[in-house]
A and B are shown apart, each in its own frame.
Chain A
């Protein structure tokens, strides 16, 4: 029976369609229209996120006795709008109900004014060049083309810049370029992050993002506080880059790169991604993500001892295979691309990388 592994897209050139949404608690709208072309700094969606609710007792503040005494003409402004501090919401003779701080006048009932204070502006940026496929109140779909690397973990930030390598950045220091206010660089850290040194360097050199293969989980909290995106292509621990990922990064050195270091949630479909966009192109295809494993397919291994290695499936045995630790599991026989070694790998530990030609379409029954 066909086995459908997971797919982590790692492609040098593909069609990329991405959905952008306002945060679920924001009130706002799309700022672009369908068909328009956008730049990385284009605001696609904008709005506000209301925060704390406060109640104002209008009956008391207006010097009245009962809520029913509040007449409609006492209302000075419409409900549902954001007002600056000191704006009169209700007035009765010399008495007033005023906004104590900038707030959304959310509700008024039974003599009680309900404000949602400190509405925080929120803007969703395109982060890359592209074309707007569709736009509605809370959602914009953008299309572009380019290289796409789906990663394992991100710290929740997003940014863009020129792709460079940490080792090159060291030589840049010697050239005296380190004083620039903004390096404009998305930097590839060549090794696993095992100490805060990478973060210190990022701050010192004003990098816009760090790409690393892996990181000790002990630094996770620090990475979350860093303020620039940190994206891990392989996972946690001391794991090197997959050859395919490193090669792809290296071959795009110096190019405009977007890092969307989404914090992966087990319950959401968004994944952290590195995009090196080249703009929309009709000749590019969307990667297929729901393909069965087939002989000839290129896979990446996701667990030790072969984690990160690329291989080609050469056999799919019908019967379970006993692996090193004694577990009997459904497995694929694969040949690794780096040294032609042949091994059995549990099906659960391989993933496709999104090459449309690697596997046939869904078999028709």
Chain B
């Protein structure tokens, strides 16, 4: 979608010199010159292992096949590579290629000698229990926390200079926390040593006393103390030392520590998940956390327009909800390991509150019905709702999980007040089965609109094939391929949502949609309604919108723009912001089905 507002400013913008976007277009149309000809990707989630095949078609990389199987980590099986083999077997059947040896061993036929490149990402599995150690809570510890956002961790304790606990209590705290990882940050490279030495000694004593499996220690603090850290810890734990995340008060350096954390994630999973090592060994880059890939793609999309636009991605998984947002040029990543639709359903309901979930239901849930539902989902995360009542619960939970994750994410958005409406995002991408495989594409769009409540004209996209995870991991290895896959339908255009702000009485919106073949149709809508006008994928349409008094779209009452075709089409939303849901169940029972019906209808 390209906005074409009738203002001098917009016109001058349209005539700018070749931008990054046109450069990308140039790449897209050029045949690829690369050593890589075929790429197989795998994303191991908590419930599903998804594989995809990318190949050159007429000189351009395309997604040519995909398959999935249940992830075979505990408690289902004991070897995560088994699920990968099952998915690859299916991909092999679909593509006519062999990805597994024919013998009983079923080795993974991956790598240059088999004519392919294999990359794997993972988002599933138990989060890494992490203790963060740093000097100042609002300086190094903050940098450490931001670095940890790039991977799947559960922060179980933090030690710092202002900690009122005695060293004895701190040692006990670390022992009680039973961390898998201790991340030590703190001290600028020219800063004081003594306080850091004391903290490092506390860590050393704790890991010495820890029975059983020792935590891994990652040091990303004052570079002058690296030798001391090695001397203290090397004999007791697996120690990694990387560049200082906060080399000076004014500067943060995230790339080295994020890379180390990504590698650590792979190593941690390889140590704790049977079969993971097999996948890690076969993959060109080891197994990277999916969230790292999400960040890469969101950053790419933000830059692709040449305008540094805001981009938002939400992944509603079984064990985590991830928000990746590029806002005002800064990437914000939030992983909520307590939110999820399967493994984390119970903690998710506890976090968002059953009452908030109930406000999206057309029925009054029985006492404990929502929590019983969540418990059964946690016990059997791969199952799907089969009756309407449970599907409604699932959709309601999904909306609230996204809302909760967004609230956390927005705390880190610089210059955007937390309670302000969502700033313009282009596009918004949804990831996860509940969004990608609803009963109708319109429902996926509705869930995103309800949970995020965007304003303006926004492209909604879906990632039904796991492209975000796989392409994000390839962005450094094969950037041309990533560009081509993303710009040739790797992400599904779900809908173009038109969401005016404000409240109006009477007619809220009138629109004229003119298709490329000259046909046109008109839409007239009251407020508090939803309406879909199809624009099929591959087509474009010009949309002219006129709003009722009190409503604005991108600050204007009249607007004309070009819309790309999408699975749903144009989705006009005059419900206003924030959405108001009736407290009375009978009124909700009238209203919500109308919304569901509206987004599934093509007028």
Contacts and interface: CB of A to CB of B under 8 A. Distances in A.
Given A235-B375, A290-B82, A24 B386 contact: no
A232 to B, nearest CB: 9
A216 B379 CA distance: 14
B156 interface: no
B352 interface: no
Interface residues of A, number: 54
A236 B384 contact: no
Given A50-B211, A114-B209, A266-B319, A304 B379 contact: no
B26 interface: no
A301 B182 CA distance: 43
A107 interface: yes
A202 B521 CA distance: 70
B367 A218 contact: yes
B420 to A, nearest CB: 36
A70 interface: no
Contacts of A324: 386-388
A329 B436 CA distance: 13
A341 to B, nearest CB: 15
Contacts of B168: 53-55
Given A54-B168, A325-B387, A365-B100, A267 B125 contact: yes
A1 B343 CA distance: 26
A88 interface: no
Task: Choose among A25, A348, A349 the residue with the greatest number of B CB atoms under 10 Å from its CB.
Answer: A348
A269 B379 contact: no
Nearest to A50: B211
Given A25-B211, A349-B384, A55 B90 contact: no
Nearest to A220: B375
Nearest to B208: A107
Nearest to B378: A266
A52 B172 contact: yes
Contacts of A153: 375, 379
A211 to B, nearest CB: 17
Contact of B70 (A4, A106, A325, A328): A4
A348 B77 contact: no
B376 interface: yes
Interface string A114-152: 101000000000000000000000000000000000001
B586 interface: no
A5 B76 CA distance: 9
B387 A236 contact: no
Interface residues of B, number: 61
B378 to A, nearest CB: 6
Interface in A1-58: 1-2, 4-6, 24-27, 50, 52-55
A307 to B, nearest CB: 9
A105 to B, nearest CB: 12
B74 A24 contact: no
A31 to B, nearest CB: 19
B102 to A, nearest CB: 6
Contacts of B126: 266-267
B172 A53 contact: yes
B85 to A, nearest CB: 10
Interface in A316-365: 323-329, 345-346, 348-349, 364-365
A266 B381 contact: yes
A305 interface: yes
A289 interface: yes
A327 B211 contact: no
B25 interface: no
Given A27-B211, A325-B391, A53 B171 contact: yes
Interface in B174-223: 175, 178, 205, 208-209, 211-213
A237 interface: yes
A270 interface: yes
B158 to A, nearest CB: 19
A269 B74 contact: yes
Contacts of B205: 107, 114
A217 B375 contact: yes
B485 interface: no
A174 interface: no
B89 A1 contact: yes
A114 B172 CA distance: 11
A97 to B, nearest CB: 16
A2 B69 CA distance: 10
B439 interface: yes
Nearest to A349: B383
B94 to A, nearest CB: 9
Nearest to A216: B368
Task: Choose among A26, A216, A267, A302 the residue with the greatest number of B CB atoms under 10 Å from its CB.
Answer: A267
A290 B77 contact: yes
B234 interface: no
A11 to B, nearest CB: 18
Interface string B428-440: 0000000001111
Contacts of B372: 216-217, 236-237
B384 A303 contact: yes
Nearest to A138: B212
Given A53-B209, A218-B371, A264-B75, A6 B70 contact: yes
Task: Choose among B125, B167, B387 the residue with the greatest number of A CB atoms under 10 Å from its CB.
Answer: B387
A143 B346 CA distance: 35
A102 interface: no
Contacts of B106: 365
Nearest to B70: A4
A304 B386 contact: yes
A25 to B, nearest CB: 5
A107 B175 CA distance: 15
A22 B391 CA distance: 42
A268 interface: yes
A304 B390 contact: yes
B71 to A, nearest CB: 11
B385 interface: yes
A114 B206 CA distance: 11
A4 B86 contact: yes
Contacts of B376: 152, 235-237
Nearest to A24: B212
Contacts of B367: 216, 218
Interface in B363-399: 367-369, 371-376, 378-388, 390-391
Contacts of A218: 367-368, 371
Given A236-B376, A327-B391, A346-B386, 19 more contacts: A1-B67, A4-B72, A6-B70, A24-B212, A53-B171, A53-B209, A55-B167, A153-B375, A220-B375, A235-B379, A236-B379, A237-B369, A266-B378, A269-B78, A324-B387, A325-B387, A327-B385, A348-B382, A349-B383
Sorted nearest first, the 7 A-B pairs with minimum C-beta distance are A326-B439, A269-B74, A237-B372, A267-B126, A236-B375, A266-B343, A325-B391
14 contacts: A1-B93, A4-B72, A6-B382, A53-B171, A218-B371, A220-B375, A237-B373, A264-B75, A266-B75, A326-B391, A327-B437, A327-B438, A345-B386, A365-B89
Interface of B: 46, 67, 69-70, 72, 74-78, 82, 86, 89-90, 93, 100, 102, 104, 106, 125-126, 167-168, 171-172, 175, 178, 205, 208-209, 211-213, 319, 343, 367-369, 371-376, 378-388, 390-391, 437-440
Interface of A: 1-2, 4-6, 24-27, 50, 52-55, 106-107, 114, 116, 152-153, 216-218, 220, 235-237, 264, 266-271, 289-290, 302-306, 323-329, 345-346, 348-349, 364-365
